[in-house]
Amino acid sequence: MEDIAVLPIDVERAEEITAFGAWRDKEAIGVIAGMKTGHRMDIKSLFVSPGYRRRGVGRALMDQMREHYFGKGVYLNAEFTMEGEKAYSLSSFLEAMGFEENSRHFPAYYMGRVRDLKANRPIPPALKNYIFPLSEIKEKNLKETSRSCLEKGDPLPNEGLTGQDVDRDLSFCIFEKENIRSYITARAPGKDLVHISSMWSTLPGLSGQSVLFEHMSEVLRDKYEGDTRILFLVWDALMYQVINEGMHSIEQLSYSYSLTGL
């Protein structure tokens, strides 16, 4: 790293707030600041001037904060809200510094284009016989599924299945023994956009969601032009795990990282 000095910054409420600045000659090129609560130091700010990024300044600032609290029974916590490549870059930096991811907070929007969708999870041939467009499922079957869910204490699927804006020929379900076991619904508000609006399943694990997401991807690849956009609202971590490789975050998602053992 260049001849850069990392020095403490005098702040009010020094018992709570800790800050360090990075200087080159007399130019301030970076800052890190955090607020201490009990045994936790929350990193509130980490900034490096654009001309000095990827040159070790951020690492030097974080190292100084770690050294300051080493052996004092304090752990560092970093929370941030970003999207796409920016989130990936900061996550990689924190993990390289020894931080571990605690959580991601949903919901978040993901976007992709038909031409970028990957064939991630082959659908078992036997299961394909149970996949139907919702347009082929009769109203009595929806009621039967709702009754079965009530008996088992499962969430009711009606809202996602019967919404007026759902394109029933572009929404699919796994249908078995007069019951809908899983579904994925979508609408196409314009020829250049498909909005995947909901997913639901009574099947264990990711099996129902994964199969239907892959089936939806196959249909989109066959039916739409490559530039058609796909918008997917992710509500929870389970849905996040079935996102296709061709999708990327377009709305901010909150991350939490911590570094223990100081």
In the structure encoding, which two tokens stand for residue 245, read together?
């490789």
Helix (H, G, I), strand (E, B) or coil at 40: strand
> Is 136 in the same domain as 167?
yes
> Is 161 in the same domain as 200?
yes
Q: What's the structural domain count of the chain?
A: 2
> Is 168 in the same domain as 198?
yes
Q: Are 70 and 262 in contact (CB under 8 A)?
A: yes
> Is 100 in the same domain as 118?
no
Res 154: pLDDT: 55
CATH number at residue 159: 3.40.630
77: DSSP letter: E
The tens digit of pLDDT for each residue in 157-188 reads 555 555 556 787 888 888 877 777 888 888 88
Res 35: pLDDT: 92
Picking from 196, 178, 194, 205, the residue whose alpha carbon sits closest to that of residue 229 is 194
Res 6: pLDDT: 94
> Is 98 in the same domain as 116?
no
* pTM (2 d.p.): 0.57
> Is 82 in the same domain as 130?
no
- Dihedral through CA 229, CA 230, CA 231, CA 237, nearest 10? -140
Picking from 145, 103, 112, the residue whose alpha carbon sits closest to that of residue 213 is 112
Domain range for residue 42? 5-105+253-259
Phi and psi of 40, rounded to 5°? Answer: -120, 135
The residues of the chain scoring below 70 in pLDDT are 1-2, 83-85, 139-165, 204-206, 260-262
> Is 101 in the same domain as 163?
no
> Is 181 in the same domain as 213?
yes
> Is 100 in the same domain as 116?
no
